[in-house]
């Protein structure tokens, strides 16, 4: 049984606004994000389920998931 091809999420991170508080990393249920220096980066895009918890809890308006 081949699984249907999953459409990948699009995660937009605004590096100018991100302060690296790592709230989005800790609340991500599928560990999609990681901290690179003082900014968040995408580690595993395929795992993203588009739950948008990172977007909801980002205090800096820095991340959006489409």
Query: Facing residues of 65 across strands?
Result: 11
Return d(Cα 14, Cα 46) in angstroms, integer: 20
CB of 44 to other proteins, least distance (A): 18
Stretch that binds other proteins, among 16-24, 29-37, 40-48 (CB under 8 A): 16-24
Q: Does 6 bind other proteins (CB under 8 A)?
A: yes
Q: Are 65 and 55 in contact (CB under 8 A)?
A: yes
Is 31 a binder of other proteins (CB under 8 A)? no
Does 35 bind other proteins (CB under 8 A)? Our answer is: no
Measured from the CB atom, the residue of 38 and 44 that comes closer to other proteins is 38
Separation of CA 41 from chain center:
8
């Amino acid at each position: 049984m081949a699984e249907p091809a999953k459409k990948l999420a699009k995660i937009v991170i605004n590096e100018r606004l991100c302060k690296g508080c790592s709230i989005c990393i800790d609340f991500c249920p599928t560990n999609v994000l990681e901290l690179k220096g003082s900014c968040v980066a995408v580690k595993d895009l395929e795992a993203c389920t588009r739950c948008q918890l990172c977007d909801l809890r980002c205090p800096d308006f820095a991340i959006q998931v489409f």
